[in-house]
Amino acid sequence: MKPLFAALALALAAGPVMAADADSAASHPFSIRDLVMMDRVSDPQLSPDGRYALFSVRATDYAANKGVTSLYVLDLNKPPQPVKIVEKGSSARWAPDGKSIYYVAAKDGTAQVWHRAFDADASGKGLSLTVRTGEAVTDGPLDVNAFKLSPDGSKLLLTYDVFTDCADLACTKERLDGREKDKASGTVYDKLFVRHWDTWSDGRRAQLYIADATAASQPLLLSRGIDGDVPSKPFGGDDEFSFSPDGRTVYFDARIAGKTEPWSTNFDIFSVPADGSAEPKNLTADNLAWDANPLVSPDGKTLFYTAMKEPGSEADRFAIMAMDIATGAKREVDPSWDRSAGALQVSADGKTLYTTTDDNGQHPLFAIDVATGKATMLVTDGSVGAFSAGSKTFLLSRDDLKRPADLYTADLKGKGLKQVTHFNAKRLKGAQVGDFEFFTFKGWNNETVQGYVVKPVGFKRGKTYPVAFIIHGGPQGAMTNSWSYRWNAQTYAGQGFAVVTVNFHGSTGYGQAFTESISGDWGGKPLEDLKAGWSDALSKYKFLDGNRACALGASYGGYMVYWMAGNWNQPWKCFVDHDGVFDARAMYYDTDELWFEEKENGGTQYDHPENYERFNPVNHVKDWRVPMLVIHGGKDFRIPDTQGLGAFTALQRRGIPSKLLHFPDENHWVLKPQNSVQWHETVNAWLKEWTAPGAK
């Protein structure tokens, strides 16, 4: 699974308390403490007139061991001085008139939608960004998960987790309160999911409602009869539902659950009258694969969405589709573009779609011509995380391997790129980072494969350095020119390590055939690519000390570490494995999302046991010899912690130097700041122990 295997863990535990003025410290190599304390800029929203930037910033409260998200506004016509307008709020969106915002914040212990209006400034031609009190416009007994404002600002789409047999929100609240009072703690299940990602099922579904934007206390259920989550879990958001331009129709995507949810990727696009006068209508029932992200053209005539073609796959290419709303006729907009589109935005004239995707080690912003399907790269050389398209301008977040996300503006052709926020400037000035370089080589079947090398901080020509060889997760993912709060190459460069990584067969951004080539071959082509990439890097970069190198990976990268432990352990002084698959057979029966296992292994384990054994690391434990640090989260239901415990047992029984770091409160990722510090400090100490001069 992409989210599942795709990313990995940050974060390590308690260390010295971080000073509030750390950003003014003297120049020093980049460290985990720098990473943890970075401000995280996200969710850019351009005002309707294109003048103001609305966005979120997550700061770290290290003592409280959590992040705190606030909302900011920046006047793009004046010197860059963002104004914090809401403390502890998120998901801010402009009202259609651009004179107020809606956002989510807590009220009396539950998450509600709030409204905050801006006064006119002294000139009468702009907004006064001075702090003004907002007011809650919802007051339901349950948390609002997500929302969206109608085009005229009169209605709100709202999502809540509810028991679908309840007539109103109060019923769900009463039932939850009753469970809290019940002395019996058991739960009876009659279908999967029993647990998903990091949460045990309690029988509730995320459902879509509509309410008056000024009096939202009695929302109307729109997703009536939908046995599924709107938006999807665990990572779905407000790009999964939308209004038509006239506000009369609502579109959303959902997967009907039944008893097949854990092995189905059959999401469909539904339409429903905004007044709830009819039940939702399935518009894509003919496609048994994944349909997502509905977006209507400005003239209301065309429904754009993304669609996969292979049922049961989560890593198939997302094509861009256009549906004639009047006739239901569908066509693929971009059949010749060999990339998988992300969520869509549409130009004011409806002639151009905008999206982001991985592309040859970058994550650019693209424009797609609706008539011809031609894809034009607009902003590259790094990663465009999120963007907001106006009538003349883009507002976007952008990061790369040397700097975290900040906001930029550019015209609609991607020209005139200008940085407009500088939230971590002082920290970056004080923290030295390593330079990087992409390289290519001939991998499996003599095909071109790409990777990159990061030099250690303080690099000196003629000197050699120990190496952290990082293997990405996914497996349908990639190590790109982007900043990460999980596997960040600069945390290793700051410790004096060079970093090498390879985007092996199965990685995204190199064409769909390249991505699909890993399925059924987890220990084959990728291992050949890793071997060839390591050899090529050693020959090209003489500063890499091949005799002092450790391999690290998480999720699929963790699987590969376990596989390498028995099949390619000669070059390595140590291994680090985070949340990896140790026993492919047990993994099938323990994981939450079965479609991934069945796709990658050609069917169920009981029908095709030989496929699960072909590249099963547990079968090669007798050949393990390299010291290994195993890390796992107790709330990881994607790759349960029994996988890590099994690997540690194997290491200990074989007498191989090994350690286990277990986080009972973390999922597939390590998210809490102090846990992140502990994670990195434990990993760094392990690397240094085994790559030190004279180490065995």
Residues 538-566: pLDDT tens digits?
Answer: 999 999 999 999 999 999 999 999 999 99
Q: What is the CB neighbour count within 10 angstroms for residue 22?
A: 17
- Is the pLDDT at 368 greater than 90? The verdict is yes
What mean pLDDT, rounded, does the chain reach? 95
CB 544 within 8 A of CB 468: no
Structure tokens at 481: 């020119």
- Asked if residue 480 is part of any domain, the answer here is yes
pLDDT, residue 3, reads 43
- Is the pLDDT at 8 greater than 60? The verdict is no
- Asked if residue 461 is part of any domain, the answer here is yes
Catalytic residue among 150, 636, 641, 676: 636
- Asked if residue 157 is part of any domain, the answer here is no
pLDDT, residue 694, reads 81
- Asked if residue 377 is part of any domain, the answer here is no
- Is the pLDDT at 18 greater than 80? The verdict is no
Structure tokens at 556: 């699929």
In this structure, the dihedral spanned by the alpha carbons of residues 449, 455, 456 and 457, taken in order and rounded to 10 degrees, is: -140
Q: State the amino acid at position 258 in one-letter form.
A: G
| Nearest residue to 472 via CA among 559, 570, 377, 554 | 554
Total number of residues shown for the chain: 696
C-alpha separations of 573 from 377, 546, 679, 683 in Å: 42, 10, 20, 14
pLDDT, residue 288, reads 98
pLDDT, residue 416, reads 97
Task: Tell me the three state secondary structure of residue 602.
Answer: coil
Catalytic residue among 363, 505, 578, 668: 668
Q: State the amino acid at position 103 in one-letter form.
A: Y
- Asked if residue 452 is part of any domain, the answer here is yes
Question: Averaged over 202-217, what is the pLDDT?
Answer: 92
Asked, as a colleague might, if the bond just before 55 is cis with ω within 30 of 0, I would say no
With bands split at pLDDT 50, 70 and 90, how would you rate the model's confidence at 13? very low
With bands split at pLDDT 50, 70 and 90, how would you rate the model's confidence at 1? very low
- Is the pLDDT at 204 greater than 80? The verdict is yes
pLDDT tens, residue by residue, 426-449: 999 999 999 999 999 999 999 999
Domains in the chain, number: 1
Contacts of 462 (CB under 8 A, 6+ apart): none
3-state secondary structure 519-560: CCCCCCHHHHHHHHHHHHHHHHCCCEEEEEEEEEEECHHHHH
CB 394 within 8 A of CB 409: yes
pLDDT, residue 627, reads 98
pLDDT tens, residue by residue, 261-272: 999 999 999 999
- Is the pLDDT at 123 greater than 90? The verdict is no
Separation between Cα atoms, residue 40 and residue 59, nearest integer Å: 7
- Asked if residue 596 is part of any domain, the answer here is yes
Q: Which domain holds residue 580?
A: 431-691
Structure tokens at 526: 């990728």
Catalytic residue among 47, 244, 397, 555: 555
Query: Looking at per-residue confidence, does 216 or 9 come out higher?
Result: 216
Does the active-site annotation cover 608? Answer: no
**How do beta strands 418-419 and 436-442 pair?**
unpaired
pLDDT, residue 133, reads 87
216: left (phi over 0), alpha (psi -120 to 50) or beta: alpha
CB 197 within 8 A of CB 233: yes
Buried b (16+ CB within 10 A) or exposed e, 368-407: bebeebebeebbbebbbbbbbbbeebbbbbbbbbbbbbbb
3-state secondary structure 90-153: EEEEECCCCCEEEEEEEECCEEEEEEEECEECCCCCCEECCCCCCEECCCCCCCCCEEEECCCC
- Is the pLDDT at 69 greater than 90? The verdict is yes
With bands split at pLDDT 50, 70 and 90, how would you rate the model's confidence at 130? confident
pLDDT, residue 132, reads 77
Does the active-site annotation cover 668? Answer: yes
pLDDT, residue 16, reads 34
Question: Averaged over 127-151, what is the pLDDT?
Answer: 93
Question: Averaged over 98-120, what is the pLDDT?
Answer: 96
| Nearest residue to 409 via CA among 673, 186, 143, 80 | 80
CA dihedral for 397, 402, 404, 407, sign (positive or negative): negative
Share above pLDDT 70 across residues of the chain, in percent, rounded to a whole number = 96
CB 322 within 8 A of CB 331: yes
- Asked if residue 221 is part of any domain, the answer here is no
Q: State the amino acid at position 579 in one-letter form.
A: D
CATH number where 481 lies: 3.40.50.1820
Structure tokens at 96: 């259609």
pLDDT tens, residue by residue, 390-435: 999 999 999 999 999 999 999 999 999 999 999 999 999 999 999 9
Structure tokens at 135: 């007011």
With bands split at pLDDT 50, 70 and 90, how would you rate the model's confidence at 25? low
Query: Max Cα separation, the chain?
Result: 77
Burial class (CB in 10 A: 0-12, 13-18, 19+), 669: buried
The label of the residue with tokens 């991607």 reads 414
CB 478 within 8 A of CB 514: no
CB 265 within 8 A of CB 295: no
Does the active-site annotation cover 555? Answer: yes
- Asked if residue 654 is part of any domain, the answer here is yes
pLDDT tens, residue by residue, 454-503: 999 999 999 999 999 999 999 999 999 999 999 999 999 999 999 999 99
Separation between Cα atoms, residue 157 and residue 147, nearest integer Å: 5
Structure tokens at 5: 């295997």
Separation between Cα atoms, residue 353 and residue 349, nearest integer Å: 10
> How far, rounded to the nearest angstrom, does the alpha carbon of residue 323 sit from its chain's CA centroid?
28
Asked, as a colleague might, if the bond just before 235 is cis with ω within 30 of 0, I would say no
Beta bridge partners of 365: 356, 379
Phi–psi pair at 668, nearest 5 degrees: -65, -20
Beta bridge partners of 468: 499, 550
- Is the pLDDT at 22 greater than 50? The verdict is no
pTM: 0.95
pLDDT, residue 5, reads 37
pLDDT, residue 217, reads 74
> Roughly how many angstroms between the first and final C-alpha of the chain, as a whole number?
37
* Poorest-pLDDT segment among 129-143, 583-597, 680-694: 129-143
> How far, rounded to the nearest angstrom, does the alpha carbon of residue 111 sit from its chain's CA centroid?
22
Question: Averaged over 13-17, what is the pLDDT?
Answer: 33
Separation between Cα atoms, residue 167 and residue 165, nearest integer Å: 7
